[in-house]
Amino acid sequence: MNTTELMFNAIKSQFPWADCPLADAEEISADLISEAYNIAVKQDLGHLVASACEKIADESTKKEFSKKKLTAIFRREQISFEEKKIFNLFDTNEIDYIPLKGSVIKKFYPEEWMRTSSDTDILIRPENGERALSLLTEALGYKYEGKSAKDYQLFSENGVHIELHYSPESGNPKTDKVLSQIWDYAVKGENTHRYDLTPEFLLFYTVAHALYHFLGGGCGVKPFLDVWVMESKMEYDINKLSALINECGIEKFYISFKALSEVWFGKAEHTDITRNMEDYIFMGGVYGNRENLGKASLHKNGSKLKYLYSRIFKPRKYLELQYPNLENHPMLLPYYQIKRWFNLFNGNRRRDVTAELQGSLKNDETAKLFDILEI
């Protein structure tokens, strides 16, 4: 058994329906446990491996694993507490909302703490954006940190990150034509302004969001686990899901996504495609890295010249988010383009740009993979 196999076996052992008990301590070395745990941490799944291996680890490692598990429980409780406050606020003020991602998927896990999140994602109708933002900052004391092309960024007093989405779209034309219909696939609850996605659309949204991150440098293992868990514990119509996948033309990606999920959490064997996907995902970590982003961006632009042009000259819409003053003073566009260039020279940004450019020079294997997946 290698480290990756141990990691996935440890994760599966936490789900009763997987029927995958972990081997005894005598069969697994302390070094192997440590290596598998470190890989899982990079995927934000360290708490599951810690929970699985806590009983068979040595004494010093047991303490670390116990702390990791307790931290995950505390993290989930913190986020759930903030979610309840927001949901109550929106219900009271008649603001329609759709909980997204971990805030919904957690209920399909054996225990909610098993599905960790770095933030909480909530979708509202765009016309309610400014009012919702005012309520969150004034009534709940959330700190507003800025606006992106699709959401408002806020933080609670205890540090919980809130992404208040006013658009479900990701910037990928293939999936956005279906994601833009999200409210048509949401069902309103009784005596509440909460809407919940249909099971099929929830699965589609998870795959589409994974594709968004995959194209941005890597999506991590978690969406594969989410889909496996939901398909195991949630009733859904496979024909309706297939119709959504087919409508936006991501069949090849979905088929390969499912195949890799079966390798990791089922009993399937690797193929060349799943192996390449695994390498790309493991290199990128939870949210991808700049080198993978460089490879993906070069493939998207089609040539090094177009890629470099896209990195040097950003669209006005992008710059308006970074520099809000530009929205009312469009003649300042050249000034803000130049200002952005100078900002790239600070330490962290310079390292990011360098890594991305280096990745763009090593695009061959990634380009082949993206072509096979038709993304």
Q: pLDDT tens digits for 79-95?
A: 999 999 999 999 999 99
- Angstrom distance (rounded) from CA 94 to CA 194: 10
pLDDT on residue 331: 85
DSSP 4-68: HHHHHHHHHTTSGGG--PPPPGGGS-HHHHHHHHHHHHHTT-HHHHHHHHTTTS-HHHHHHHHHH
Distance, CA of 216 to CA of 300 (rounded, Å) = 10
* Position with higher pLDDT, 65 vs 292: 65
Determine which of 52-61, 192-201, 233-242 has the lowest per-residue pLDDT on average. 52-61
pLDDT higher at 236 or 298: 236
pLDDT at 291: 63
Residue whose tokens read 């530009």: 326
Q: What single-letter DSSP state applies at residue 252?
A: H
Q: To which H or E segment does residue 165 belong? A: strand 161-165
Pinpoint the alpha helices (H) of the chain: 3-12, 30-42, 46-53, 59-92, 102-105, 129-139, 173-179, 199-215, 222-233, 238-247, 251-265, 272-284, 290-301, 304-312, 316-322, 333-343, 347-360, 364-373
Residue in this structure with the two tokens 């997204």, named with its chain if needed: 100
Whole-angstrom distance, CA of residue 151 vs CA of residue 133: 10
CA distance 97 to 75: 23
Packed helices 238-247 and 199-215: angle between N→C axes, nearest 10 degrees: 40
Euclidean distance between the first and final Cα of the chain, in Å? Answer: 33
Residues 71-80 pLDDT 10s: 999 999 999 9
Q: pTM of the entire structure?
A: 0.84
Task: Express each pLDDT in 13-61 by its tens digit.
Answer: 999 999 888 876 557 888 999 999 999 999 999 999 999 999 888 888 9
- 326, 332 contact by CB (below 8 A): yes
User: DSSP class of residue 112?
Assistant: G
pLDDT digits (tens, 9 = 90+) for 269-324: 999 999 999 999 998 877 666 566 666 666 666 666 676 666 677 778 767 767 77
Per-residue pLDDT for 345 more than 70? no
